[in-house]
Structure 1
Amino acid sequence: MPGCREAGEFRAPVSSHRSPDGPPPWRWLCLDHVREFNASYNFFDGMNADQIMAAQSPTAGWETESRAFRAAGSADLPPRWADFRDPMDALGARFRQRMDEARREAADPRFTREEHRALHTLGLESRADRGALRRRYSELVRRYHPDRNGGDRSHETRLGEVVAAYQLLRKAKAFA
């Protein structure tokens, strides 16, 4: 504000008119001037009754169309235009891990997708046998069980994941 020597730490819009091109320009005010601005600010200034009702609607702001939601898991697939030149790997890095998982799953069709995830949870290779599965399960249960950690229950979620993964894999055809 003209003549004010206080630091402008609080932002306020220059005008109440909203631009379709983005947020309004801001000005920076000190605490006293922003309080004064807020006391006189009227969001509905210049609106007629219908516009005020529309702005107060619980669905205000949801009128625009959005993309349809996709089935679970399909959102992480790479775009079809992924074969372009990307020297800084700005776009391709996002999909690398998912594509590596897909390649591993395709390389060993003995396991389902859930079984591949369970193998990953246990930290096992797909070529592991039933003995390796049991040893790894025992090792992880000893590591994460609260009785082995002085009653510390912070690893309880991880222990549940390990048990669920083992229960799935011990019934898998590949370990029969």
Structure 2
Amino acid sequence: MKIDSPLFDRIRVKPAADRLRQTACPNCQWPGCDRDGTHRAPKGRHAEGEYFTYCLDHVRLYNQSYNYFAGMSDDAVYAYQKDALTGHRPTWRMGMRGAGDPGAGPLRDPFGFSEELGAAQGFEPQPESRAIRATERRALEMLGLELSANAVEIKAKFKELVKRHHPDANGGDRSAEERLKNVIQAYNTLKQAGFC
């Protein structure tokens, strides 16, 4: 291959002086300025992805006076900022299936949060009705609880039984260790079923 070959020119690491001039910065787009436009500045709200090229002094001047929301009303700015929280993606109302109207019926509050927060008058929580399978019945019996036990009672009973049957509390007794395994297994069964 010859040294002055166009193929050799393409694979050279350091470009020639004439090629360096071709890759120079464009001129500053500020009226009357002929310096290199080394910095980009956004064109505006309706021209996303488009930029002016300015020199350092003029990009500073431009940025000081730049306002993305210029010409928008306060309500429009608020709506834009609210949509920006979700990345301008569509959102839906939160809630359970079929619970479109918040005033349609009584709220379901299985954990009693409304009582702690001082609920409004007229609020009556619905009793929670859940189907209990045989494995869950055995787990509740293992913990010594009624079928109507709630999450707080289950957790409290579990903690009590773990403290009682832990091998360190029973001097390394193997029978206590076996009961501890059964208690832990019963609690995990109830946890997986959504009881606590």
Q: Which bracket does the TM-score occupy, shorter chain normalised?
A: 0.3 to 0.5
More helix by proportion, 1 or 2? 1
Structure of greater relative contact order (alpha carbons < 8 Å, 6+ residues apart): 1
Bigger Rg over Cα:
2
TM-score (norm 2): 0.32
